A and B are shown apart, each in its own frame.
Chain A
Amino acid sequence: MSVKTSRRGFLAGAAASGLVIGVDARGALAFGVQAKTRDFTPFVRIDTTGRVTVLVKHLEMGQGPATGLPTLVAEELGSDLSGIRVEFAPADNEHYANTLFGVQLTGGSTALSNSFLQYRKAGAAARAVLLQAAAQDWAVPVAELTLENGTISGHGRSEGMGAFVETASAMVLPEDPPLKDPAQFRLIGNPDLRRTDTPAKIDGSAQYGMDVHLPNQMVAVILRPPRKGAVLTGFDAAAAAAVPGFIEAKEGVGGVVVFAEHTWAAFQAREAIAAEWDLSGAEARSQADLRAELSAMVSAAPAYEARADRPMTEIAAAVAGAPRQVEAEFFFPNLAHAPMEPVNCTIEPTADGGVILHDGCQFQTLVQAMVAGALGLEPGKVRINTMFAGGSFGRRSNTDADYPVEAAQAFALTDRSRPVKLVFSREDDVRGGYYRPAVAHKVRIGLDESGAIAGWDHRVAGESIIKGTPFEGGMVQEGGVDPTSVEGTRDTPYRIGGMFVGLTDSAPLSTVLWWRSVGHNHTGYVMETMMDQAARAAGEDPLAFRLKHLTGDAPDQRRMAGVLRAAAEAAGWDDPLPEGRARGIAAHKSFETYVAEVVEISQSDGRIQIERVVCAVDCGLAVNPDVVKAQMESGIGYGLGAVMRNAVTFEGGEVQQVNFPDYEPLRISDIKAIEVVIVPSAAAPTGVGEPAVPPAGPALANAIAALPGGRLVTVLPMAENGVTFA
């Protein structure tokens, strides 16, 4: 076994030789026996017993790539998915890059879509050379042989494919191995496939970053500034000395780094330290200031034009002159991602002067470079052991690699002889920034005589995710528009008679970051509640009104209309509801996937209960239909929980929330039932991790507005703005 890898531990017990299919230095498919594969990056390994290992280049944080990518290989190789070993790939930007981004990153709901052909080809190449090898060994025509479930058969013979690994390793790899005809798929699209990671996640054996325990490791926690911009002026750690297991406290990483022998000692010692801060340059604004600032911005002329079908003044005039008008202003608070596993990272020194990071790492390319920079190492000296991640929702991939760099900085405060495990508490997570931006929208819609949208004037103001980061040059558009602030508005599939989208950036009270579905989590809410409000003003059914604005057979309109119809049909949209019940519908396109949702609620004694959510998704070919359904369920829950009751708020610059009791997650009783319909499609697969989030909130809001005496909730979260949930 000589495959280049940064992972420890898994080498033991593997076969001494085997067939490896991967990519060479030019990025072309390549293969060989392991002993000869030094310049060679593996995707698939097959040992002489026929055991198949798939190297998964994406982080498994719940969305299923550790199942989806092996499914692609197994399909082409003719293997059984359950027999495949899964390993996470090392940091290697040259070969394990996300083919859509050019960097090793899991995000943007692309893990499956960017790997779809790459991993199938790896499986197909393995199959082709193994068949050729068997044909050569048996001296029979290759066309007469088949490979199914790890066994090569034909000409009256049958043998496990492992027997041909040695011969195959000396053969010429086909340049373009034939891929299966989709009609022959056994695994792709099979609803009975189960996740590869379930067994380890139900017996406690799955290893997350938080579970790392290296010999002689120290645990570090950081006493952090109480507000953005606060500067440490001194601290007293005398009381911490009484905590058994406390090692030392040092100034660094923007605060005080507390080192201890174990986690509980680190937490206790941190509690015992008194720190003093210079707050003269610190953020001092409060939630009311933030709201007032954003509200003023959406009422003034925007700084940037994101879409202007006609000049702004012309569209504003068309709206003002329309026979019917609808107007609303919205506010979305900051949100924490709050993955179940508080983020953490362990830095392990190696004998060659480098380090190994143990991390549920989402953005290997950036983390490797940033940690190397923090430690003064060549990037090649920073290896990454990517582990299971206990959720992310965007938190683990950010533009400054915050927590791996903090771990490196803490490690650099030591003599670098002991591994350092940096751990966040839940309080660090909830209070520590990297929030969904706070955003305001103001929309004015004009309807013509026929009840069609004649003008849509849309102003957005909020905290830019991209500006001020290393990605600004590559992502912010000429004219100054951060596309993540307006995605989902200007690119709406609805045919709108004249749209203007303006944008103004505000100064964030904390660091901001993409949060599951990025800009779509607020733009979807605004677009889809305003469509309902417009339908109401036009006196039309919300579904019919939407379909009226999705005419024609272009893919955007056809697919959006398709999910709307499918969700409405499954939900019984036209069936009468008993008293005290209401339905709301919403649809949104994000990450090339179309999702429509119908939320049905009941109201009793003024309390609202979500009875049922029906979802229809068009994500192209559904490779693992049950994973697709699971991601719809997940996105619906994540989106609804946030709009129902989550907000990070500020008082005098300080975050007011502390932990789950005041940043209350969705609970099991909040949604009684979810049904998911997958719209059949042969189109290329698109993302599913995020696209169920955007329609969930507006579908709920539209249902609440549809109750007798109901109104549209324009300030979130709902529970703090007049809605009482059961």
Chain B
Amino acid sequence: MSIKLKINGTMSEVEAAPGTPLLWVLRDTLRLTGTKFGCGVAACGACTVHLDGMPVRSCQTMIEDVGDSEVTTIEQVGGEVAEAVRQAWRELDVVQCGYCQSGQIMQAVGLLTETRSPSVEEIDAQMWGNACRCATYQRIRGAILRAAEILEA
């Protein structure tokens, strides 16, 4: 079927079978490969994108369910919160292999958009579903706290 999607501020018309996860339309059709495939069952968070600003797992978001919602991916996520998060990620050098980090950043931006000054417990609860096999968690936590500080300044 042909479906219209608003992705990163642009309307795109794509051909995809019903039931196709948004993840694969982003990666294989639109070549937005910053959004990663990690597990396909919403257990790792590597595929996290924003739907109207809210983090969702694109591997479990069927293409026909996106509707009029605006999809934002790591390539284009911007604004004050995203900039603070990226700055903090740079300052703390969070990344190692880096494969999960698009999803981590999208989840963190969602968290800080909702909660400007999260506690450590809130960070752990909100980031729990984003796996990192390099175990960069300590720096993810620290970078979210740092981003909150940047946003407050």
Residues of B within 8 A of A213 (CB): 28, 31, 33
* Residues of B20-49 contacting chain A, CB below 8 A: 20-21, 24, 27-29, 31-41, 43-44, 46
Are B31 and A426 within 8 A (Cβ)?
A: no
Interface mask (B75-114 → A, CB under 8 Å = 1, otherwise 0): 1000000000010011001111111111001000000000
In this complex, which of A205, A210, A667 has the most chain B Cβ atoms within 10 angstroms of its Cβ?
A667
Q: A633–B132 contact, CB under 8 A?
A: no
Tell me the complex Cα distance, A673–B33, Å.
32
Please, how many angstroms separate the alpha-carbon atoms of A264 and B37 in the complex? 11
B24 to chain A, nearest CB (A): 4
Interface window among A19-27, A101-109, A334-342, A563-571: A334-342
Q: A203-B34, A340-B99, A391-B99 are in contact. Are A630 and B93 (CB under 8 A)?
A: yes
Residue of A nearest to B37 (CB): A210
* A300 at interface, CB cutoff 8 A: no
In the complex, the answer to whether B20 meets A264 with C-beta atoms within 8 Å is: yes
Q: Are B36 and A198 in contact (CB under 8 A)?
A: no
CA distance A392 to B96 in the complex (A): 12
B65 located at the interface, meaning its Cβ lies under 8 Å from any Cβ of chain A in the complex: no
Interface status of A195 (Cβ within 8 A of chain B): yes
- Per-position binary interface string of chain B over residues 107-131, scored 1 when its CB falls under 8 Å from any chain A CB and 0 otherwise: 0000000000000100111011011
User: Which of A201, A668, A674 contacts B128 (CB under 8 A)?
Assistant: A668
B40 near A204 with CB under 8 A, answer no
> Are A340's CB and B128's CB within 8 A?
no
B3 within 8 A of A: no
**In the complex, what residues of B have CB within 8 A of residue A60's CB?**
97
Indicate the size class of the contact surface on chain A: 35 or more
Interface presence of A207 (CB below 8 A): yes
Given that A198-B89, A660-B43 are contacting pairs, would A633 and B29 also be in contact in the complex, using a CB cutoff of 8 Å? no
A210 touching B39 in the complex, CB below 8 Å, given contacts A61-B97, A634-B134, A668-B140: no
CB <8 Å contact, B135 and A666: yes
Docked CA distance A342–B97 (Å): 13
Q: How far is the CA of A352 from the CA of B59 in the complex (A)?
A: 39
Q: Say yes or no: is A199 at the interface (Cβ < 8 Å to chain B).
A: yes
A263 adjacent to B27 (CB under 8 Å) = yes
CA distance in complex: A478, B137 (Å): 44
Distance of A64 Cα from B127 Cα, bound (Å)? 24
Check: A638 CB closer than 8 A to any chain B CB.
yes
Is B96 a contact partner of A202 (Cβ separation < 8 A)? no
Known A-B contacts A262-B24, A264-B24; A669 and B124 likewise in contact (beta carbons under 8 Å): yes
Whether A208 lies near B137 (C-beta < 8 A) is no
CB of B4 within 8 Å of the partner chain: no
Q: For the complex, what is the distance from the CA of A243 to the CA of B29, rounded to whole Å?
A: 16
Chain A 368-411 per-residue mask, 1 if CB under 8 angstroms from chain B, else 0: 00000000000000000000111111000000000000000000
User: B128-147: which have CB < 8 Å to A?
Assistant: 128, 130-141
Query: A197-B98, A202-B101, A660-B43 given as contacts; is B37 within 8 A of A263 (CB)?
Result: yes
B95 A340 Cβ-Cβ under 8 A = no
CB distance from B109 to the nearest CB of A (A): 11
Indicate whether B74 reaches chain A with its CB closer than 8 angstroms.
yes
Whether the Cβ atoms of A389 and B97 lie closer than 8 Å is: yes
Inter-subunit contact B135/A638 (CB<8 Å) = yes
Cα distance, A213 to B26, chains bound together (Å): 13
A719 to B24, CA, bound (A): 35
- CB proximity of A667 to chain B, nearest CB, Å: 5
Candidate in A202, A339, A671 with the most chain B CB atoms within 10 angstroms: A202
| Alpha-carbon distance between A461 and B141 when the two chains are bound, in angstroms | 41
Complex Cα distance, B27 from A202, in Å, reads 17
Residue of B nearest to A666 (CB): B135
Q: Return A657 CB to nearest CB of chain B, in Å.
A: 12
**Contact for A633 among B20, B97, B139, CB less than 8 A:** B139
From A63, A219, A262, A674, residue with most partner B Cβ within 10 Å = A262
Q: In the docked arrangement, what's the CA distance between A638 and B124, Å? A: 18
The answer, among B38, B89, B138, for a CB contact under 8 Å with A202, is B89
**A residues near B74, Cβ cutoff 8 Å:** 203-204
Enumerate chain A residues within 8 angstroms of B99, measured Cβ to Cβ: 208, 339-341, 390-391
Does A497 count as interface, using CB distance less than 8 angstroms? no
- Minimum CB–CB distance for A315 against chain B, Å: 39
Min CB distance B151 to A, Å, is 17
Nearest CB to that of B105 among chain A residues? A202
| Distance in angstroms between the alpha carbons of A63 and B43 in the assembled complex | 24
- Residues of B within 8 Å of A64, CB to CB, are 96
Instruction: Out of B40, B73, B89, name the residue touching A425 (CB < 8 Å).
Output: B40
A665–B44 contact, CB under 8 A?
yes
Given contacts A634-B135, A671-B138, A211 and B97 within 8 Å (CB-CB): no
* B29 pairs with A204, CB closer than 8 A: no
A111 to chain B, nearest CB (A): 13
Are A340 and B24 in touch, CB under 8 angstroms?
A: no
A340-B97, A634-B136 known; A198 vs B35 contact (CB < 8 Å) = no
Q: How far is the CA of A441 from the CA of B53 in the complex (A)?
A: 52
Contact of A390 among B39, B94, B98, B105 (CB under 8 A): B98
In chain A between 310 and 338, which residues have their CB closer than 8 angstroms to a CB of chain B? Answer: 338
- Assess the A668–B123 pair: CB atoms within 8 A: yes
Q: Are A62 and B137 in touch, CB under 8 angstroms?
A: no
Task: Considering the complex, give the chain B residue whose CB is closest to the CB of A429.
Answer: B39
B32 to chain A, nearest CB (A): 7
What CA separation (Å) do A264 and B100 show in the bound complex?
A: 20
Best-surrounded residue of B38, B41, B97, B141 (most CB of chain A within 10 A): B97
Let me know if B41 and A660 touch, CB within 8 A: yes
Verify B137–A671 contact, CB threshold 8 A.
Answer: yes
**A641 to chain B: which residues have CB within 8 Å?**
135
Q: Among the interface residues B44, B95, B98, B131, which one has the most CB atoms of the partner chain A within 10 A? A: B98
Give Cα A102–Cα B91 distance, bound, in whole angstroms.
37
Q: Does A244 contact B (CB under 8 A)?
A: yes
Residues of A within 8 A of B35 (CB): 204
Given contacts A204-B34, A390-B97, is CB(A633)–CB(B136) below 8 Å? yes
Cα distance, A633 to B133, chains bound together (Å) = 11
Chain A residue with the shortest CB-CB distance to B46: A340
Q: Are A636 and B135 in contact (CB under 8 A)?
A: yes
Report the bound CA distance from A199 to B41 in whole Å.
Answer: 28
Bound-complex Cα distance A339 to B137 (A) = 15
Per-residue B-contact encoding for A554-581, CB less than 8 Å = 1, 0 else: 0000000000000000000000000000
| Complex CA–CA separation, A264 to B15 (angstroms) | 13
Closest to B131 in A: A665
Bound complex: CA of A300 vs CA of B3, how far in Å? Answer: 67
Given contacts A202-B94, A393-B133, 12 further A-B contacts (CB under 8 A): A197-B98, A198-B90, A203-B74, A244-B17, A262-B28, A340-B38, A341-B97, A388-B98, A425-B40, A426-B38, A666-B131, A671-B135
9 contacting pairs across A/B (C-beta < 8 A) = A197-B98, A341-B99, A342-B38, A390-B36, A390-B99, A390-B100, A626-B93, A666-B131, A668-B130
* The 4 nearest A-B residue pairs measured at CB: A204-B34, A637-B135, A390-B99, A201-B98
